[in-house]
Structure 1
Amino acid sequence: MRKIILGLLVMLTACSKNPGADTAPDPTPDPPAVKDPEPYPGNPLALTNNSTRQIEIYDPAKVDWNTAEAKKWRWSPLPSQGFTTEEANKFGGGTDFKVRKMSVWQNATYAAISDNSFAAIIAYPSGERKWSKILSGNLHSAELLPNGNLALAASDGNWIRVYATSQGANNNTYAEFPLGAAHAVLWDPKLNCLWVTGQDQSNNAHILTALAVGGTDAQPELTELKAYRVTLPTPWGHEISAYYGNTNLLWVTTNGGEYVFNKTTKSLYVSPTNNLTFVKGIGNQPSGQIVLVRPDTNKNPRPSAYCSLNGWATSWVDFYTAGGELQGSRLVKGACFYKVKIVYDNYQ
């Protein structure tokens, strides 16, 4: 992989009120999709679907995702699960979903969820409410910390927050770190920090950095670990995901590219998948297979079946080998997937 030295000269538009604003297609034609789908063994895949306004989980071993047997789980906040009618009405399908096994909660599994104006912790797979709140700020990412607190990133609110959700189902206490166009949060259990993407409001630099979570469970505090701060090669940082199989690496995407970050050298390298633009969600199976989603409007040519609801989602999920070779795709007709997540309870 080639080390990134210079950023792209073309400035790409940031996500605004909706998660993904620039709909100009990638000028470089995409590789042709593999026509004959094959089963892909691996962990289930969670998709945030703007079309159905649900979070949906699919089995990658099923080749036709339009069948009932392929969709293993779906969720939206319901009053029967402890949510308010307002929360149920506001939910638009989600902007992030991460499952975590929580030793502080009897080693049970929970999920952290964000939506544009809503955040929640739910028991997984029951979907029962553990904590939830309606929030302004255009939430783009959520992470459940080992102590039971919840980290959130708000792109319009220009902040990273950690809510003291460990203290009860309706607790509103939080710590805040100012970060322009904040888009991603990922907990690092090895370094005991939060990785985040956003923009330094003092100089407009687009950055990846780490935050220490201090204070107490009831009164958290956030402090930047400036030794880990790097300027992104291209503007408008978006996703951060675990690079399963190597805890020293992270997946990082921007509007202008996709990268692998080395924590030790603090270097960003072009990802094996040939530096695709506007990748909204990316991750890898423990086998090494790479899974990603990017908006249909940014593909060249645009696929014949595509998300017509908005310009930041897709009806397709793409699969690549660890070396970056396109293996194939899954199509869900009428779907508008914004983000994909490996359903795997390991942080990294």
Structure 2
Amino acid sequence: MMKRIILTGAAFALLVFQLACSKKQGATAPPDNPPPVQQPEPYPGLPLALTNEAVKKIEIYDPMVTDWNTAAAKKWSWSPTTALGFSADEINRFGGGTDFKVRKGYAVMSDNSMAAVMTYPAGQRVWAKIISGNVHSAELLPNGNIALAASDGNWIRVYASSQGPNNSNYGEFALGAAHAVLWDPELNVLWVTGQDQSNNTHILTALAVGGSDAMPELTELKQYRVALPTPWGHEVSAYYGNKNLLWVTTNGGEYVFNKSTKTLSMSPTNNLTFVKGIGNQPGGQIVLVRPDANKNPRPPVSCSLNNWSTSTIDFYTAGGQRQGSRTVNGACFYKIKIVYDNYQ
């Protein structure tokens, strides 16, 4: 499930095992020194979608509700069912999701070994496929096709989902440890993170989607390629309020990418490690998820199912000052998305 780098020495082998980009625990972080716990306050903003592996559902919560363990907080939940048009095999493969995005009456999701396009909010199956390769991210293109990133498959693909509920045609771009896909309607490119397999450089780059709706093709636009400051690229998400910027995370840090200058600068949120999902409300507030296993000290209420998820969502001001959090008892949240059907 993870990319491994073979280094001499048992101690270095253990360190690399911990840092490999995957749904695995990273190296122990220094103490986070969080601010004193304050009374939770309502946060105005759009709903937040989270992939919850503990209950194998995608869930949407209201940040205005201060206690996320109440029925009032959870506004929507989804998992594939036969009533929604999914097959028994597709249902069995679903483990809670690795990504979820809402796009103009539809939504896309990925999971380790499947992906789907569905109507939103009804959740009816539009297209779905069982796919090996540890699928980590999904995006719905304007023409109805779905883009996917597979970390073990080492590819970015665009499937012709617009051509029927079971269509299997796809275009592919080889990319090691591929983890993220995000469509940019201004530049008409697909932003992706991964690793150049020819030289092992960890990169953020952009792909042009060509061909036809029925037979898509992917070509890298190398003028947009940049090396990531730290290894194992993970998340790429929209920076709402500034179309020239993107959020980018790696195992080693979190960054803001400037499309015009092709530069990556440190995120205002203290350059946290192992951030699995990050985004901002249109008003500027930053929200993110970071595995409980990488927090020091580990929170008393935390995900006990695995070492790559968390029970807590963290909130920061646009300037990076920590505001507070929401915790769901027993939850194992892996990815977070702002429920906003605009691409940027």
Q: What interval of TM-score do these two structures reach, taking the shorter chain for normalisation? A: over 0.9
The alignment status of 1:314 with 2:310, answered yes or no, reads yes
Structure 2 distance, partners of 1:132, 1:337, is 23
| 1:92 alignment partner in structure 2 | 95
Structure 1 distance, partners of 2:156, 2:272, is 27
Amino acid at match of 2:67: D
Deviation of 1:33 after TM superposition, in Å, equals: 5.5
The alignment status of 1:53 with 2:56, answered yes or no, reads yes
- 4+ residue runs of structure 1 moved beyond 3 angstroms? none
| 1:228 alignment partner in structure 2 | 224
Deviation of 1:308 after TM superposition, in Å, equals: 0.6
8 Å Cα contact 2:25-2:293 kept in structure 1: no
The alignment status of 1:164 with 2:164, answered yes or no, reads no
Computed over aligned residues only, the root mean square deviation of the Cα atoms, in angstroms, reads 1.1
Greater RCO structure (CA 8 Å; 6+ sep): 1
8 Å Cα contact 2:19-2:27 kept in structure 1: no
- Deviations along 1:41-95, one digit per CA (max 9) or x if unpaired, are 1000000001000000000000000000100000000001000111111110000
Which of these residues, 51, 54, 79, is aligned with residue 76 of structure 1?
79
Which of these residues, 273, 276, 294, is aligned with residue 290 of structure 2?
294
Deviation of 1:23 after TM superposition, in Å, equals: 3.3
| 1:5 alignment partner in structure 2 | none
The alignment status of 1:209 with 2:193, answered yes or no, reads no
Structure 2 distance, partners of 1:33, 1:246, is 32
| 2:141 alignment partner in structure 1 | 145
Amino acid at match of 1:62: V
The alignment status of 1:14 with 2:14, answered yes or no, reads no
Change (3 A) 1:38 1:160: same
Deviation of 1:34 after TM superposition, in Å, equals: 3.5
8 Å Cα contact 1:212-1:224 kept in structure 2: yes
| 1:120 alignment partner in structure 2 | 116
| 2:35 alignment partner in structure 1 | 32
| 2:4 alignment partner in structure 1 | none
SS of the aligned residue for 1:80 comes to coil
SS of the aligned residue for 2:26 comes to coil
SS of the aligned residue for 1:166 comes to helix
| 2:255 alignment partner in structure 1 | 259
Amino acid at match of 2:66: V
8 Å Cα contact 1:24-1:297 kept in structure 2: no
Structure 2: which 5+ runs fail to align? 1-14
Structure 2 distance, partners of 1:32, 1:311, is 24
8 Å Cα contact 1:243-1:283 kept in structure 2: yes
Instruction: With the length of structure 2 as denominator, give the TM-score of the two structures.
Output: 0.94
Structure 1 distance, partners of 2:214, 2:114, is 21
- Deviations along 1:201-220, one digit per CA (max 9) or x if unpaired, are 00000000000000111111
- Deviations along 1:149-184, one digit per CA (max 9) or x if unpaired, are 000000000000000111111110000000000000
Structure 2 distance, partners of 1:79, 1:33, is 47
Amino acid at match of 1:61: M
8 Å Cα contact 1:209-1:224 kept in structure 2: yes
Structure 1 distance, partners of 2:144, 2:94, is 23
Structure 1 distance, partners of 2:264, 2:130, is 35
Structure 2 distance, partners of 1:331, 1:64, is 8
8 Å Cα contact 1:87-1:134 kept in structure 2: yes
| 2:7 alignment partner in structure 1 | none
Amino acid at match of 1:241: S
SS of the aligned residue for 2:126 comes to strand
8 Å Cα contact 1:34-1:327 kept in structure 2: no
Structure 2 distance, partners of 1:310, 1:39, is 29
- Deviations along 1:82-112, one digit per CA (max 9) or x if unpaired, are 00111111110000000001xxxxxxx1001
Change (3 A) 1:33 1:276: farther
Q: Between the two proteins, what is the percent identity of the paired residues?
A: 75
Amino acid at match of 2:252: G
Deviation of 1:26 after TM superposition, in Å, equals: 1.4
Amino acid at match of 1:75: W
| 2:234 alignment partner in structure 1 | 238
Amino acid at match of 1:78: T
Structure 2 distance, partners of 1:33, 1:286, is 27
Which of these residues, 42, 46, 53, is aligned with residue 43 of structure 1?
46
The range that moved more, 29-38 or 141-150, is 29-38
Which of these residues, 314, 339, 342, is aligned with residue 338 of structure 2?
342
Instruction: With the length of structure 1 as denominator, give the TM-score of the two structures.
Output: 0.93
